[in-house]
């Protein structure tokens, strides 16, 4: 186990976290990414305290504080009146019991931080322009084959290749995801394009069949939003499809001007939309010496802000399971026992949360019906200390 060589498919946030966790545990890692350039999309990302405990465990506490913005308030607001229905500022802005804050970060900043840390451990570990196709297992090794014909062998292969994971399909068969009936728009608005009185606190504006989540990326001086509407007839699952701002404004024409003015300020090149698809939870993630992590294992709908968070937790727990075990079979069994139940719970609660938020009568939404990630007890989970 000390000489373990792990192959990681995918160099997104989950893949790089997994690589760094394994490197810091003393293992050799090779990361293969299909893109020809390393980078991330321009979007905001919420990192709740449970994620930040994992990043602290990886030695990134001070660097994370440099890129993270601590929000000053949280609230659930009525879509027409902008009245605050639930104020959960105190519980969402406090540090958790272990002293980890809640951060809002630019996804690209976190990705750059992770890639720099991984490459500082091993400048030759990252291989771009490698499109994974198949894997073979036998004689104690896992061999990955890429579309170019290149083959790479290691002791362990970890699929961190996202919601459309080819590794997952290789292990458990291809599946047809279900369209949820929701379309999402995302945008980044420079704060100088918005009146100072409209600069948003963090929170969600809820209406029948529609929500707008918005928050400030203070270090980037940007407002990030995700607007979600129930709508059929457009079902493209990609984060890279541009949308017309006029289409977005038409969809949310009945929302309060304070919300619409933020949408209207979106630069034309910064508005994107995608269809939201869902997968059912997997009861197990590993076959032989191949396993899954992040969205490849448990694709999350974005209604609790826990997608990247769960990938960070996976990375830390997997590295600890490898260190604590005598062989790979034991390590992967421990990993699944520690992670499958929790991630499945978060998947299902994320799925249920949009139903609560987009109910027919937003006036009835109150503290009794409100059920977010903090109230579900997710924030105090420490991936560096949890039992494995």
User: For position 281, what pLDDT does the model report?
Assistant: 93
User: For position 146, what pLDDT does the model report?
Assistant: 98
Phi/psi of residue 21, nearest 5 degrees: -60, -45
Contact 31, 19 (CB under 8 A): yes
Domain spans in the chain, listed from the N-terminal domain onward = 185-278
Rounded distance, CA 158 to CA 4, Å?
13
User: For position 96, what pLDDT does the model report?
Assistant: 73
User: For position 74, what pLDDT does the model report?
Assistant: 86
Phi/psi of residue 209, nearest 5 degrees: 75, 10
Beta bridge partners of residue 178, listed in sequence order: 278
From the centroid of its chain, how far is CA 287? 24
Contact 256, 205 (CB under 8 A): yes
Q: Which residues of the chain have pLDDT under 70?
A: 92-93, 198-200, 235-240, 367-368
Q: What is the pLDDT of residues 255-265, one digit of tens each?
A: 999 999 999 99
Contact 44, 107 (CB under 8 A): yes
Query: DSSP letters of 142-172?
Result: EEEEETTS-EEEESEEEE---TT-HHHHHHH
Q: Count H helices, E strands: the chain?
A: 10, 18
Tell which residue, 237, 219, 256, has the closest CA to residue 45.
219
DSSP state of 94: S
User: For position 237, what pLDDT does the model report?
Assistant: 65
One of 3.30.300.30, 3.30.9.30, 3.90.950.20, 1.10.760.10 is the CATH number of 185-278, namely: 3.30.9.30
Pairing type for strands 103-106 and 84-87 reads unpaired
Contact 131, 34 (CB under 8 A): yes
User: For position 198, what pLDDT does the model report?
Assistant: 67
> What's the N-to-C CA distance of the chain in angstroms?
17
User: For position 319, what pLDDT does the model report?
Assistant: 98
Rounded distance, CA 283 to CA 290, Å?
15
Tell which residue, 174, 169, 173, has the closest CA to residue 159.
169
Give the SS3 label for residue 179.
strand
**Mean per-residue pLDDT over the chain, rounded:** 92
**Residues in Cβ contact with 66 at an 8 Å cutoff, skipping those fewer than 6 apart:** 219
User: For position 88, what pLDDT does the model report?
Assistant: 80
Element (H, E) at 90: helix 89-93
Active-site residue numbers? 215
Q: How many CB atoms lie within 10 A of CB 108?
A: 16
């Amino acid at each position: 186990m000390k000489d373990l060589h792990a192959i990681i498919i995918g160099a997104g946030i989950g893949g790089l976290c997994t690589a760094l966790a394994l490197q810091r545990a003393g293992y050799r890692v090779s990361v293969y990414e299909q893109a020809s350039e390393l980078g991330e999309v321009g979007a905001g990302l919420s990192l709740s305290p449970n994620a930040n405990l994992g990043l602290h465990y990886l030695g990134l506490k001070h660097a994370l504080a440099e890129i993270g913005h601590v929000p000053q308030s949280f609230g659930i607001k009525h879509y027409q009146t902008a009245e605050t229905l639930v104020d959960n500022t105190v519980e969402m802005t406090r540090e958790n019991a272990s002293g980890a804050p809640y951060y809002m970060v630019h996804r690209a900043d976190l990705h750059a931080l992770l890639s720099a840390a991984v490459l500082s451990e091993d400048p030759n570990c990252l291989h771009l322009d490698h499109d994974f196709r198949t894997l073979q297992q036998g004689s104690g090794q896992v061999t990955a084959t890429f579309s170019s014909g290149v083959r790479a062998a290691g002791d362990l292969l970890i699929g961190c290749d996202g919601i459309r994971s080819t590794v997952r399909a290789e292990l458990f068969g291809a599946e047809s995801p279900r369209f949820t009936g929701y379309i999402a728009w995302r945008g980044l608005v420079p704060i100088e394009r918005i009146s100072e009185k409209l600069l948003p606190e963090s929170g969600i504006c809820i209406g029948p069949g529609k929500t707008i989540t918005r928050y400030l990326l203070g270090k980037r001086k940007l407002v990030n939003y995700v607007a979600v509407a129930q709508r059929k007839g457009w079902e493209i699952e990609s984060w890279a499809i541009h949308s017309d701002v006029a289409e977005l404004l038409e969809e949310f024409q009945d929302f309060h001007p304070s919300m619409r003015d933020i949408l209207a300020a979106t630069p034309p090149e910064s508005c994107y939309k995608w269809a939201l698809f869902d997968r059912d939870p997997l009861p197990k993630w590993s076959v032989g010496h191949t396993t899954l992590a992040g969205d490849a294992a448990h694709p999350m709908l974005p209604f609790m802000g826990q997608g990247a968070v769960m990938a960070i937790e996976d990375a830390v727990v997997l590295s600890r399971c490898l260190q604590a075990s005598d062989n790979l079979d034991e390590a992967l069994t421990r990993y699944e026992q520690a992670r499958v139940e929790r991630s499945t719970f978060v998947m299902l609660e994320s799925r249920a949360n949009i139903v609560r938020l987009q109910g027919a009568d937003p006036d009835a939404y109150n503290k009794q019906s409100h059920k977010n990630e903090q109230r579900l007890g997710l924030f105090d989970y420490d991936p560096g200390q949890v039992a494995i």
